Chains A and B, each alone.
Chain A
Amino acid sequence: MKTGRGAIRMASNGRPVRPFIMPSTLSGRLGVWRYLILRRITQLTILLLFFGTAHWGWSVAGRPLLSGNLSSSRLLDLVPMADPFAVLQIFLTRHMLQPEVLIGAGIVLVFYALVGGRVWCAWVCPVNMVTDLAGWLRTRLGIRDMFHVNRDIRYSVLALTLVLSFLTGVAAFEWVSPISMFHRELIFGAGLGWTAVLGVFLFDLLVVKHGWCGHLCPLGAFYALVGRFAPVRVGFDAPTCTHCGECARVCPEPQVLNLRQAAEAGMIRSGECTNCGRCIPVCPEGTLQFDLRHRIGAADQSHESKPHQRRLA
């Protein structure tokens, strides 16, 4: 390799450290953007299904396709779904809920506990599109953080939400949530909810990078806890990793890409990982791939005989 930029750095596994290079062909780029495109498709499709059902009467066999909104909905007038965090808040206001919404919350909870809690964030939540845009713009414009905010603050906001719901007798986050406001007004007609979303956008753009989703949002924190033991994880094939750091550069939650811990676990274990798949295509070594927790566990067992080798890698 004649780079003319001095010596090629070698990783501890004996491989050269290569940078990620964006392919120049369209198909190559589409390959890199595959998860991004898929995520936008699911996010927009879900919104469209809600909107079409509400405004154009979309239905299948006379059953409304997807009615309600992301707080509580009904698929084909049959399957109830509800936001488990909203239900938890209402529960704490000491009101008894009807079974339908409890079942709906249970269904949603089990789903995200399986696919990864913050799959909600990366694949469903409409605010994610806004904050992703802010993050992208901010990198483009080279805006620096105004100050440092601890990423664990979101868990305090989560706790505060629950305490306030108990004390005030109304679901505390639901009444101020830019997420609910945004999707509700996208579906049921616009009011001033967009100002809250604009606030989130500007905060993310100008004040703190990934400020809302990565530091403050209690719903994201809730789902991080829900997905703590989810089977679907980003697997980490430690021996191939050159510590180039490309993954952490694109990750909205870079603290989860602690490569030492990832090597030990064979995966990105933290529930704060959104399973967005950004890191997967940018890794020049193919180290990161979606995988299932139990398979990774099984692979670990087979390596057990020579642990020092794995450590080295």
Chain B
Amino acid sequence: MEQNARREFFIRLAQGTALAATGGLIWSALLQQQAKAMPNALRPPGALDEDDFQALCIKCGLCVRDCPYDTLRLSTAGDSVPIGTPYFLPREIPCYMCPDIPCKVACPTGALTPELTDINGARMGLAVIDIENCLSWQGLRCEICHRECPLTDTAITVEHNPRKISKHALFVPIVHSDACTGCGICEKACPTDEAAIRVVAHELVQGKIGDHYRLGWKVDTTITPDFKPYEKSGPLPVAPDASGGLDYLNEGVP
């Protein structure tokens, strides 16, 4: 009798555990799949790294409500963005980079970090240019993105490719990752049928050089401790003062 009861108990325990384990496995698989649903979701300014952001965001939509331009939206079930989290589609409505960052102020959890105090420090994504379809890169004088960019001449510059024989001169926009906030105003403004400049999550477009490469010709490249050709040489050699070089070349030019 007693033995039966004990056996019954252990069978029940095993059943319960099996049920919980199976349920837990399916459930966590679902979560993993959700979390990785769309690496290219553009998050509001100040959003933490995607993993931390997904953990912290409570999906309240307070940021969405406080955005004066209706830039932000909460993803719904069936969207490709992890469910319930805020994102934006710059081609529809970009982030206009409010100086007071109301979306971040509204966030109660810190998923949009309070540490972001200057909107120019936001890194929502990085604008990339499809040079095969950018009008300026074809030789037309478009440069709309350059004019519209809130950080024009820092985040986007226009470089001049001088005219060569039988080649049109080019004035081409180039984006600089150290300044581009990923606001997407350029993407919104681009006049091509499909935007030739787009904001993309950093992970999807940015490479990484690797620490062992030395760009020796750059003035600020130091010789690091793992590369010591002269063990006891004194201070690093200083490049000769080159200020006179240009003057020398220009000597005699009227």
CA distance A156 to B23 in the complex (A): 11
A74, closest chain B residue (CB): B62
27 A-B residue pairings within 8 Å (CB atoms):
A54-B65, A64-B65, A68-B60, A71-B60, A72-B60, A74-B62, A74-B108, A82-B60, A86-B58, A90-B56, A97-B110, A160-B20, A160-B23, A160-B24, A160-B27, A168-B35, A171-B55, A174-B84, A184-B74, A184-B76, A188-B61, A188-B64, A188-B74, A190-B76, A191-B77, A193-B77, A196-B77
Interface residues of B in 176-221 (CB under 8 A from A): none
A62 within 8 A of B: no
CA distance A54 to B66 in the complex (A): 9
Indicate which residue in B73, B106, B109 contacts A90 across the interface (CB closer than 8 Å): B109
CA distance A83 to B108 in the complex (A): 12
Known A68-B61, A168-B28, A191-B77; further 20 A-B contacts with Cβ < 8 A: A67-B66, A68-B108, A69-B60, A82-B108, A95-B55, A104-B108, A157-B23, A160-B20, A160-B23, A167-B28, A172-B27, A175-B82, A181-B76, A181-B84, A188-B73, A189-B73, A191-B75, A191-B79, A192-B78, A195-B77
A178, closest chain B residue (CB): B77
Chain A residues within 8 Å of B108, by CB:
68, 72, 74, 80, 82, 98, 100-101, 104
Chain B residues within 8 Å of A101, by CB:
58, 108-110
A44 within 8 A of B: no
CA distance A27 to B27 in the complex (A): 49
Contact between A82 and B58, CB atoms less than 8 A apart: yes
Give min CB distance, A131 to chain B, whole Å: 19
Chain A residues within 8 Å of B31, by CB:
164, 168, 170, 172, 175-176
Contact between B84 and A164, CB atoms less than 8 A apart: no
A208 within 8 A of B: no
Contact between A71 and B76, CB atoms less than 8 A apart: no
Residue in B16, B58, B64, B76 whose Cβ sees the most chain A Cβ within 10 Å: B58
B113, closest chain A residue (CB): A98
B34, closest chain A residue (CB): A175
Chain B residues within 8 Å of A160, by CB:
20, 23-24, 27
CA distance A167 to B28 in the complex (A): 9
CA distance A68 to B59 in the complex (A): 9
A98, closest chain B residue (CB): B110
Contact between A72 and B56, CB atoms less than 8 A apart: no
A53 within 8 A of B: yes
Chain A residues within 8 Å of B60, by CB:
68-69, 71-73, 82
Chain A residues within 8 Å of B82, by CB:
175
B39 within 8 A of A: no
Interface residues of B in 1-47 (CB under 8 A from A): 16, 20, 23-24, 27-28, 30-32, 34-35
Chain A residues within 8 Å of B241, by CB:
none
Give min CB distance, A134 to chain B, whole Å: 20
A156, closest chain B residue (CB): B20
Give min CB distance, A162 to chain B, whole Å: 11
B83 within 8 A of A: yes
B114, closest chain A residue (CB): A98
CA distance A190 to B73 in the complex (A): 12
CA distance A187 to B106 in the complex (A): 17
Chain A residues within 8 Å of B27, by CB:
160, 164, 172, 176
B136 within 8 A of A: no
Give min CB distance, B60 to chain A, whole Å: 4
Contact between B34 and A71, CB atoms less than 8 A apart: no
Give min CB distance, B29 to chain A, whole Å: 10
Give min CB distance, A202 to chain B, whole Å: 17
Indicate which residue in B32, B52, B73, B109 contacts A98 across the interface (CB closer than 8 Å): B109
Give min CB distance, B48 to chain A, whole Å: 9
Contact between A95 and B76, CB atoms less than 8 A apart: no
Give min CB distance, A157 to chain B, whole Å: 8
